Amino acid sequence: MAAAPLMAGDGVAPNWTPNPPPFENPVGPKKKGRPKLGTQHISDDATLRVLSGLGVNNICSGKPGDKITDPGWSVEGLTKLRERVEGHGIRLEMVPLPLSSAYITRHEYPDIMNGKSPERDRNIDDICKMIQNCAKAGIPAVKYNMSILGVVRTEASIGRGGAKLSTFNYAAGKQDPPLTEAGPVPADVYWERITHFLERVVPVATEAKVRIACHPHDPGMPIGKGWRGVETVLGSVDGLKKFVSIKESPYHGLNFCQGTVTEMLKNPGKEIHDVIRYFGTRGKIFNVHFRNIKGGFLNFQEVMPDEGDVNMIQAARTYKEVGYSGMLMPDHVPRIDGDQGGRQAFAFGYGYIRAVLQMLEQEG
Q: What is the DSSP string of 318-332?
A: HHHHTT--SEEE--S
Q: Which residues pair with 252 in a beta bridge?
A: 212
> Residue 242 and residue 324: Cα distance in Å, rounded?
21
pLDDT at 3: 42
Residues 6+ apart with CB under 8 A from 62: 41, 42, 43, 96
Contact 287, 293 (CB under 8 A): no
Pick the residue with more confidence: 41 or 233?
233
pLDDT tens across 8-39, in order?
A: 333 444 444 443 333 333 333 468 999 999 99
Domains of the chain: 36-363 (3.20.20.150)
> Residue 250 and residue 232: Cα distance in Å, rounded?
25
> Residue 361 and residue 56: Cα distance in Å, rounded?
16
Indicate the pLDDT class of residue 346, thresholds 50, 70 and 90.
Answer: very high
pLDDT tens across 188-227, in order?
A: 999 999 999 999 999 999 999 999 999 999 999 999 999 9
pLDDT at 5 over 80: no
- For the segment 229-241, the average pLDDT, to the nearest whole number, is 98
113-136: burial string, b at 16+ Cβ within 10 Å, e else: bbbeeeebeebbebbbebbbbbbe
Phi-psi bin for 226: left (phi > 0), alpha (psi -120 to 50), beta? left
pLDDT tens across 140-163, in order?
A: 999 999 999 999 999 999 999 999
The pTM of this model reads: 0.92
> Residue 351 and residue 53: Cα distance in Å, rounded?
12
Q: How far is CA 62 from the centre of its chain?
A: 14
Residue 147 burial class via C-beta count within 10 angstroms: exposed 0-12, middle 13-18, buried 19 and up: buried
Phi, psi of 314 (to 5 degrees): -65, -35
Would you call 252 helix, strand, or coil by DSSP? strand
pLDDT tens across 222-232, in order?
A: 999 999 999 99
pLDDT at 91 over 50: yes
Average pLDDT, rounded, for the chain: 92
